[in-house]
Amino acid sequence: MASTNGSKSSASKAKTTTTTSAEKRQTRSVAETAVDLPVGAVLSVTDRVSELVEPFTGRSAAEKQLKSYRTELRRRVKRTERRGTTARKRATTEARKTRNRVEREARKRQRTVETTLKRNRNELEQRVRKAVDLLPV
């Protein structure tokens, strides 16, 4: 029976050893990630800063880069101005069309009202004349 207890004890030790080594690997992985992330971030920032500073290392290179920036800025401003002009013209045209349509509709309704009023007035005057003619004198 002693051998049975000994084999159970060996199995427990093997299981404990396996669990401990898995925990160690996981802990190491977490620690490496915790260190690698900030180091990678610093390296990325360093690369970006050197990309930004590189064109300005010499005076002529800096002047060339600034000229390029100015040219690009002028292009973007011109493009934006053109888009604004186009939008303004489109809005003005649309407003003019709407105004003309409303004015046309108003004139049409006014003519209709005037025509109806004139017809009704004439009809009323005829009825009054007939009524007056029918009166004994």
Transcribe 17-78 into DSSP letters.
HHHHHHHHHHHHHHHHHHHHHHHHHHHHHHHHHHHHHGGGSSHHHHHHHHHHHHHHHHHHHH
Q: Which residues contact 55 (CB under 8 A, 6 or more apart)?
A: 61, 62, 64, 65
Same domain, 41 and 2: yes
Q: Record the tokens describing residue 67, joined without a space.
A: 């000229």
Are 103 and 130 part of one and the same domain? yes
Q: Which of 14, 30, 57 is a domain's end point?
A: 57
Question: Residues 71, 104: one domain?
Answer: yes
Verify that 42 and 82 share a domain, yes or no. Answer: no
Pick from 106, 102, 105: nearest CA to 94: 102
Beta strands, E only, the chain: none
Q: What is the pTM of this model?
A: 0.46
Residues 50, 44 contacting (CB under 8 angstroms): no
In this structure, are 53 and 63 located in the same domain?
A: no
Range 100-122 burial, b when 16+ CB lie within 10 A, else e: eeeeeeeeeeeeeeeeeeeeeee
Question: Of 29, 57, 85, which one is at a domain's C-terminal end?
Answer: 57
Token pair 């009023």 in the structure block, residue = 117
Examine the domain organization and report whether 68 and 50 are in the same domain: no
Confidence of residue 96 (pLDDT cuts 50, 70, 90): very high
Number of domains comprising the chain: 2
Same domain, 27 and 86: no
Give the mean model confidence (pLDDT) for residues 14-42: 82
Which domain range does residue 89 map to?
58-137
Mark whether 42 and 72 lie in a shared domain.
Answer: no
pLDDT category, 115, cuts 50, 70, 90? very high
Mean pLDDT of the chain: 86
Please report the pLDDT score of residue 82 as a whole number. Answer: 94
pLDDT at 12 over 80: no
Structure token pair of residue 98? 């709407």
On whether both 100 and 126 belong to a single domain, the answer is yes
Q: Region 94-123: what's the mean pLDDT? A: 98
- Which tens digit of pLDDT belongs to each residue from 29-81? 888 888 888 888 888 888 888 777 776 678 888 788 889 999 999 999 999 99
pLDDT > 90: percent of the chain: 48
